[in-house]
Amino acid sequence: MRTYMGAAIILIWGLAPFYWMVITAFRDVDHTFDTTPWPTYVTLDNFRDALATDKGNDFLGAIVNSLIIGAATTAVAMMLGIFTAYALARIEFRGKYVVTGIILAASMFPGVALVTPLFQLFGDIGWIGHYQALIVPNISFVLPLTIYTLTSFLGDLPWELEEAARVDGASRGRPSGR
């Protein structure tokens, strides 16, 4: 009984902010800061206002931009990360641990410290207002984590899978594409 009570308290504590957010979204603008647990007047005007482009909002455009930037960042980071992680996980070479250390050190550098220099650089080369001004920094921020995660994953895969693929005629890089 005590376990269920504790779980219920934690569940309510965790879900209460989401409940309050949803309830506030359906409230009238004049009653936004009411503390009643249920709105006295339910309206969809807030959603119409958020999606209305005549008021200067472009919420759907922002969603599309976010999807484009996220998809491009993910695709490029995965392509670069898979090749780098494969080399770090499967190939023995001199300086392997130095490269891994540099990649991990790069992930510890706070990205916010790069905002001003990147803004100045992107302004100089004319990238302000273009997708690549967000995609390139995002790639640099997620690439160390991508490489680190994929290196662990590829290192845990059995060598026998790769050997079986080579017996079947695949090159060294071919099994990773399947």
In the chain, domain spans? 2-51, 59-177
Is 0.75 topped by the overall pTM? no
Say if domain 59-177 classifies as CATH 2.60.120.260.
Answer: no
The residue ranking higher by pLDDT, 168 or 63, is 63
Q: What is the pLDDT of residue 8?
A: 93
Q: How confident is the model at residue 178 (pLDDT cuts 50, 70, 90)?
A: low
Helices (H), 91-131: 96-108, 115-124
Backbone φ and ψ for 28, nearest 5 degrees, come out as -70, 150
**By mean pLDDT, which of 9-23, 103-117, 130-144 is the weakest?**
103-117
Q: What is the pLDDT of residue 23?
A: 93
Say if residue 21's pLDDT is above 90.
yes
CA torsion 24-25-27-28 (nearest 10°) is: 130
